Amino acid sequence: MKHHEYTAEATALLMSLIETPSVSRNEDEAATLLERKMEEYGLEPQRTGNNVWAIGAGFSPQRPTLLLNAHIDTVKPVASWTRNPLQPTIEGNRLYGLGSNDCGGGLVSLLQAFRVITSRRQAYNTVFLASAEEEVSGADGIVRALPLIPRPDVAIVGEPTGMQPAVAEKGLMVLDITAHGKSGHAARREGINAIYKMADDIDRLRRLQFDRKSEFLGDTIVNVTCINAGTQHNVVPDICTAVADVRTNEHYTNEEVYEIICSCLDSEVKARSFRLSPSHIDKNHPLICRCVEMGMQPFGSPTLSDQALMSFPSFKLGPGDSSRSHAADEYICISEIDEAIKTYIRLLDGNLIKN
């Protein structure tokens, strides 16, 4: 096949996926559509839940393994769409539709690249994985599929990065913070005001500094994003709760940051989860060096992806722009899909994926 034919097939598949509702945890029809298309391509797809993958022919445990990953689920469309989000529409170079940019463009481009590089002998194995529940980091998403595929040595995640390599990604930890006081009558200055105790702790969080800086991600940051207390104006509140959003750089684990925060607050602190870890890949990794040779510029990404659930080196590289994700009238440019397929093949065909 000629290159333009791969681009045409990728575009047609993306249009079919846009027409197929695939909001997180409801990706069944989209997974089936992709599974059937992979069979048409002569691949041998496997599936668990709504995760679909294929392993390149001639797999050998003696060779390193590359994972090509993108997700099939979407967020719910926002109310400000001016067109039908499930009706793919091409206007000039733009293909409009829900999930076109995040991350349908990366998904279909990686699949076409997978077809090409696995048709030729490589020094590594390749696995293509279309995962579910990425937008909600769900238990039936990539974590369900990873134990069933060959363990990757490195992964490329097809999130929209303008085809520049995102070599580090911040982790996420959500904290529930509770300050305990003692209730009393406000007129008599009775009790211990839990709001004041929380205010002191919020000030400590606002001034908290983390020493280890990241070249690509900057500081680990904490933001208090919700607060709640009180029942009526004349009762001193005995409890105040707050929620903190914590974004960790690659020099800290979520558990380590949690311990630091707990040590400087008087309030009770509970983490909802430690599982969404920061991630990074060595900038001297062969694939990153190859990206730089091709004129790409490594950067750090503040947004979360399935990388947070990968215990092996990974980076994001995909067509589209992150600013279009989750926005009304989302689109991907067909030229971006075309360029992505070319770039993936140039990056991977005949090259090393491990030192």
What pLDDT, on a 0 to 100 scale, did the predictor assign at position 302?
86
Q: What is the pLDDT of residues 48-97, one digit of tens each?
A: 999 999 999 999 999 999 999 999 999 999 999 999 999 999 999 999 99
Q: What is the pLDDT of residues 142-191, one digit of tens each?
A: 999 999 999 999 999 999 999 999 999 999 999 999 999 999 999 988 89
Amino acid at 61: P
What is the helix (H) or strand (E) element at residue 154, kind and residue range? strand 154-157
Exposed/middle/buried for 117, CB within 10 Å: 0-12, 13-18, 19+?
A: buried
In Å, how far are 113, 121, 212, 266 from 354, measured between CA atoms?
Answer: 19, 16, 28, 47
Report how far residue 306's alpha carbon sits from residue 139's, in angstroms, rounded to the nearest whole number.
Answer: 12
User: Angle 3-19/334-348 helices, nearest 10 degrees?
Assistant: 120
What pLDDT, on a 0 to 100 scale, did the predictor assign at position 225?
97
What pLDDT, on a 0 to 100 scale, did the predictor assign at position 3?
85
pLDDT (average), residues 9-31: 98
Report how far residue 321's alpha carbon sits from residue 333's, in angstroms, rounded to the nearest whole number.
Answer: 10
Q: Which residue has the tokens 């499930």?
A: 86
**CB count in 10 Å sphere of residue 145:** 24
Residue 355 has pLDDT above 80, yes or no: no
Indicate yes or no: pTM above 0.85. Answer: yes
Contact by Cβ (8 Å): 34, 52: yes
Report how far residue 349's alpha carbon sits from residue 46's, in angstroms, rounded to the nearest whole number.
Answer: 24
Q: What is the pLDDT of residues 93-131, one digit of tens each?
A: 999 999 999 999 999 999 999 999 999 999 999 999 999
Q: What is the pLDDT of residues 179-230, one digit of tens each?
A: 999 999 999 888 999 999 999 999 999 999 999 999 999 999 999 999 999 9
